[in-house]
Structure 1
Amino acid sequence: MNPFEDMRIFCQVMDSGSFTAAADQLGLSKQFVSRRLMQLEERLGVRLLNRSTRRLDVTPLGQSYYESALRLLSEVEQVEQGIAGQTVEPRGTIRLSAPLSFAMAHLGELLPLFLQRYRDVTVEVDLSDRPVDLLGEGYDLALRIGVLEDSTLIARRIASIQRVYCASPAYLAERGTPLRPEELQGHDCLPYGHSRQVQWRFEGQGNKPLLVNVTGRMRVNNGELLKDAAIAGMGITYLPTFIVEAALKDGRLVSLLDDFEPAPLALSAVYPQHRQGSRPVQVFIEFLREQLNRGVVSGAR
């Protein structure tokens, strides 16, 4: 009997949402995981999970046990990592989720540098613009741009991402250059995402922001496609500078409304509480903070 091992298995089942997914993450059989949790419940004399053919529902006692187990496992990991860290380099695998455009612009340069510095760390990267479920899908860490939703995840700010309004010279020659945010309502715009009604935010007078409804014939949840559409003269777009910087420099795009420059977006690293003591995760976050705030890569500061 190993209480800490039982805690780890139970927490993985909770994080993964099923015995099968937890078994895959732990490299164990589904039958072994199920048997260990039954033995854990017998030893505690309580039911932690209500099982059905379709789902697992945690009981109130199970939720309490999960939260306490996470804290204990995190403390144990921090103690071990702290001792090992005095003589041993970080080692292990980081499962990372990152936005596609940001990763293409920055991680292709930074990941090799990170892996050269930490020879015993492996990184598995999934590129997606959707907000992945870190716990349910087994990620150690995700990079997110913008306002974060309230959750039990831990968030650490890494850098600021500047944004810019821009369009092609050909579009502006045909449709005119907007001088104030309100004039965007008479233009074709290229908003990010699929929302039917999109508002772009500008710095207004005092502390009150100015919100302008914009419309256009094309909406995409990928910044690279919006950049290409803007270069093709299809309208005005609003994107992070790391996506459009090269096009601004060579004149394919022109920045607009610079006097109404929006506040920068936050680039954050988010991770589950039980990964707080993971040295590979923590050194990767510190590496990104160091590189991005040093100005090694463009568009972030």
Structure 2
Amino acid sequence: MKDKLCADSKAITGVVRLNVPSIIAQDVIAEHISEFQMKYPSIKLDIVVSDSFSDVLNEDVDIIFRVSRALEDSTAVTQQVSFVPRVLCASKDYLSRTPKIETSHDVKGHKALVFDSPQSSSEWFLRCREGQEWIAPNVVLRANNSFVLKRAAISGAGIAFLPKVIVESELRTGQLIHLDQIEDADPFKLFLLRAPRKHLPKRVQIAWRFFAQACKDKT
């Protein structure tokens, strides 16, 4: 089947509709669009970026990308493609004027920039040499968008616990410092979901396989 799909790839046409969370859309999916177009020039993509949980059975969508610790929807066809670990980070300026952070317990005394959504916890599950524990940080900013939290962290507003995939560039340039003595004790997972269908269109099979590999390579 794989060889057949590859042989027919240029002849397969149609639209594949994707529903993707912002952290995956901007830092994983977007950079692979050109490659997808070159391989499958007759398949068009319709991407909706959304951080809310869409219903795979009721939404007008072919493939849903979902970042979660676990899935409760047992009716969907699912595939876990990667982990999405978060990193504790802050700007050099912020760290220079605040107490040192050496253990997860030290985090409690710092200003925290926290992701807020119905599916997320305001506590952080952290691991260091001393063990792992849930931390209730001193929240000074809540936002339902990780990129807002990233910008706030770069400006020196506090420490943030952000998906590594969206801060890799800032960690390389030094805009953010990775507090790597403390780790994510329970990383989120990235799943692909679709409605169960007896005859899945080849264009959806192609997109599923392509983006599953792209996400696996990137996250």
1:234 to 157, 175, 191: 157
Amino acid at match of 1:143: F
Q: Distance in 2 between matches of 1:86 and 1:111?
A: 18
Contact 1:275–1:281 (8 Å) recurs in 2:
no
TM-score by length of 1: 0.64
Q: Distance between the aligned counterparts of 1:147 and 1:182, measured in 2? A: 23
2:212 corresponding residue in structure 1: 289
Q: Which has the higher contact order (CA 8 A, sep 6+)?
A: 2
Q: Secondary structure at the match of 2:100?
A: coil
Structure 1 residues 35-74: aligned runs within 5 Å:
none
> 1:260 pairs with 183, 191, 209, which one?
183
Instruction: Output the amino acid matched with 2:169.
Output: A
| C-alpha distance 139-148 of structure 1, shift in aligned 2 (>3 A) | farther
Q: Does the Cα contact within 8 Å between 1:197 and 1:214 map onto a contact in 2?
A: no
Q: Secondary structure at the match of 2:35?
A: helix
- Whether 1:198 aligns to 2:122 is yes
Count of residue correspondences: 214
Give the aligned partner of residue 136 of structure 2. 213
After superposition, the Cα gap between the structure-2 partners of 1:217 and 1:94, relative to the gap in structure 1 and judged at 3 Å, is same
Specify which structure has the higher proportion of strand.
Answer: 2
Between the aligned partners of 2:179 and 2:7, the Cα distance in structure 1 is 53
CA drift of 1:249 comes to: 1.1
Structure 1 residue 85: deviation in Å?
Answer: 5.3
Counterpart of 1:224 in structure 2 is: 147
How far 1:263 sits from its partner (Å)?
4.3
Structure 2 gap ranges (5+): none
The CA distance in 2 between the partners of 1:260 and 1:147, in whole Å, is 16
Superposition RMSD in Å: 2.8
What residue number does 1:70 align with? Answer: none
In the alignment, structure 1 residue 102 sits paired with structure 2 residue 24 = yes
CA distance in 2, matches of 1:88, 1:261: 43
CA distances 1:183-240 after superposition (whole Å, capped 9, x unpaired): 211111011114697110123789x851111232211111111000001111110111
Distance 2:101 2:153 in 1: 15
Structure 2 counterpart of 1:170, from 93, 101, 117: 93
Q: Distance in 2 between matches of 1:233 and 1:264?
A: 25
Relative to structure 1, the CA distance from residue 276 to residue 241 in structure 2 (aligned partners, 3 Å threshold; closer, same or farther) is farther
User: Higher helix fraction: Structure 1 or Structure 2?
Assistant: 1
Question: 1:269 maps to which residue?
Answer: 192
Establish whether residue 128 from structure 1 lines up as the match of residue 50 from structure 2: yes
Cα contact 2:65–2:192 (8 A) shared by 1: yes
State the identity %: 24
- Structure 1 unaligned residues grouped into runs of 5+: 1-80
Correspondence 1:140 to 2:62: yes
**Cα pair distance change 1:226/1:275, threshold 3 Å:** farther
